[in-house]
Each structure stands twice: as C-alpha cells, then as structure tokens.
Amino acid sequence: MKFGIVSFPGSNCDDDALFAATETLRQPAVKLWHKDHDLQGSDVIILPGGFSYGDYLRAGAIARFSPIMREVAAHAQRGGPVIGICNGFQIACEAGLLPGALMRNAGLQFLSMPVTIRVENTGTHWTSRCHAGQCLTMPIAHGEGRYTVDSETLEKVEGEGLVVFRYVNALGETTDAANVNGSLDNIAGVRNVAGNVVGLMPHPERALDALLGSTDGLVLFESVLAAVHA
C-alpha cells in the first residue's frame, strides 16, 4: 500500500509522516510536490503538519489552492483515505473536505504538550481498529487549533457522529481543563460523512515509538492499512 505525503512550501512534518510510513509501517511512500498534478499511484494521502505558506492570511487558506489539492479532492471523492494532521487538518477544512474551521487557541499561545484524546467514532478508515471510548496520548503543537463550526453544521457534526476525537483528562472525561485550546465541545478531530477523510490537531505520527514516549498513534495507521487491504 502506497502512501503519498503532500509537501507544501512550509510543510515541516512531511518527513515525519514519511518516516511513519516507511520505517514504522514498512510501506512504500512518496512525497508529492504541491505544484504537481499527479498522486503517483498513492493509495493513502497524508496532509502533514507545518506552516504551509507561512500560515499567512490564515492557516491552510492558501495551500488549498495548490494544484495537487485538486487531485487530493478527487481521490477523497473516490473514497480514497485521506488524513489531515495539524496544519493538514486546517487545509482539509479550508478545502471543504471536512466541516468546520480552526481558530487561534483560546489562550492565544502556541501549545506544545502531550494530550489525551478519546475515540468517539470507529466507523472511519482511520479508527476502525480502535474501540469506542479508547483513550490515546499523543503530542499537540499548534497555535491555531480551536475547532469551531456554525451551530447549524454543529448539529449535523454531532448528530451524524462526525466527531472522531475529543480532548479528555486522564480519566477519559471531557473537562474544560482537558480542552487545552478551547475547542467547541472538546472536538480534537472530525471525519467526513463517508468516513474516508479524517482530520485532527494532535500528531499521531509523533506517537509511534516507545523511545519518544507513546505508541498510541499506531492504531490509526493500522486501521488505514486494514481498510485499504479489506
């Protein structure tokens, strides 16, 4: 199974995603240049973290116009798996692949720390190997991660089970203190209706090695391997 990792100018987690695919998962992977028009046969697309176009104007707002994004959207339309991580989540929202938007953290500060998130929905390509309510610990590193959505869409997001992850405390409870960036309803990640596209602010690719503190990100990648092979 081939991973395609999009490199926008300013992406800085593209190498980490590449290592996740090749070293941890032992799968072929290729970096996709933002100016290209070809996914090079990739089965799975990762929109990695970073500061595409310097986050100028608004995080993800310029990257969505990159030529490669047309191909990514078509891939998603065909039901191909896509994950947007951090800046990739922001880009996926800007591109309309996922509902909602990411605003500046409530505390107005960049936050780099481990968080715990609870799996709310296992009906996606990226969480099929999780069990509902499973708690995962992985790092966040963002300044604009406060998830928000208009009230009408929120009804749909909550009503149709499009919330995939929520920030929780060590006991798995959605407290205000656990909601580090002030996201609406503690939302840390969402899916599209079909379940092939998922976006989240935490970094599963930084939680694949016990040496670095957590292997909780692995289950997301195992899920997508299972989904594609199925």
Partner 1 sequence: MTATPRAGDPVISAALVAEHGLTPDEYVRLCTMLDRTPTFTELGVISALWSEHCSYKHSRPVLKTLPTEAPYVLQGPGENAGVISIGDGLAVAFKIESHNHPSAVEPYQGAATGVGGILRDVFTMGARPIAMLNSLRFGSLDTPRVRFLVGGVVKGIGDYGNCVGIPTVAGDVMFDASYEGNPLVNAMCVGLLREDELIRAKAEGIGNPIIAVGARTGRDGIHGASFASEDLSEENEAKRPRVQVGDPFTEKLLLEASLELIQSGHIVAIQDMGAAGLTSSSAEMAERGDVGVTIDTLKVPVRESGMTPYEILLSESQERMLVVAIKGREDEVKKILFKWDLTAEVIGEVIAEPVYRVTEGDHVVAEFPGVRLVTDCPQYHPEARESDEAVARRARDVHAVPEKPEESDPAWTLERLLEAPTIASKRWITRQYDSTVRTSTVMGPGDGDAAVIRVRGTTKAIAVKTDCNGRYVFLDPRVGGRIAVAEAARNVACVGARPMAITNCLNFGNPKKPEVFFQFREAVYGMGDACRALGTPVTGGNVSLYNENPQGAIYPTPVIGMVGLIDDVRHITRSSFATPGLDIVLLGDNTGELGGSEYLSWIHGVVAGAPPACSLDGEKALIDALLEGIGASHVASAHDCSEGGLAVALAECCIGNEDHPTGAQVDLSPWAALPLRALLFGEAQGRVVVSTANAQALLAIAARHGVPARVIGTVQSASAGFTITVGPRVLRAATDRLSTAFHTALPRAMKKAAAEVVERDPALAGGTR
Q: Which residues are catalytic?
A: 86, 203, 205
Q: Which residues bind partner 1 (CB under 8 A)?
A: 9-10, 12-13, 15-16, 19-20, 23, 49-51, 53-56, 104, 106-113, 139, 141, 143, 170, 182, 203, 205-206, 208-209, 211-212
Of the candidates 212, 203, 211, 105, the one whose C-alpha atom is nearest the C-alpha of residue 220 is: 203
Q: Which is nearer to partner 1, 9 or 161 (CB)?
A: 9
Query: Minimum distance between the CB of residue 49 and partner 1, rounded to whole angstroms?
Result: 8
What's the CA gap between 161 and 115, in Å, rounded?
22
Query: Minimum distance between the CB of residue 113 and partner 1, rounded to whole angstroms?
Result: 5
Question: Pairing between strand 82-85 and 44-47?
Answer: parallel
Q: Which is nearer to partner 1, 210 or 230 (CB)?
A: 210
What's the CA gap between 19 and 42, in Å, rounded?
16
Query: Minimum distance between the CB of residue 109 and partner 1, rounded to whole angstroms?
Result: 6
Question: Pairing between strand 29-33 and 3-7?
Answer: parallel
Q: Which is nearer to partner 1, 158 or 209 (CB)?
A: 209
Q: Which is nearer to partner 1, 73 or 185 (CB)?
A: 185
Q: Beta-carbon neighbour count of residue 118 at 10 Å? A: 23
The two three-digit tokens of residue 142, written as one number:
């963002």
- DSSP-derived letter for residue 24 is I
Helix (H) or strand (E) holding 14: helix 14-19
| Helix, coil or strand: residue 99 | coil
Query: Minimum distance between the CB of residue 203 and partner 1, rounded to whole angstroms?
Result: 7
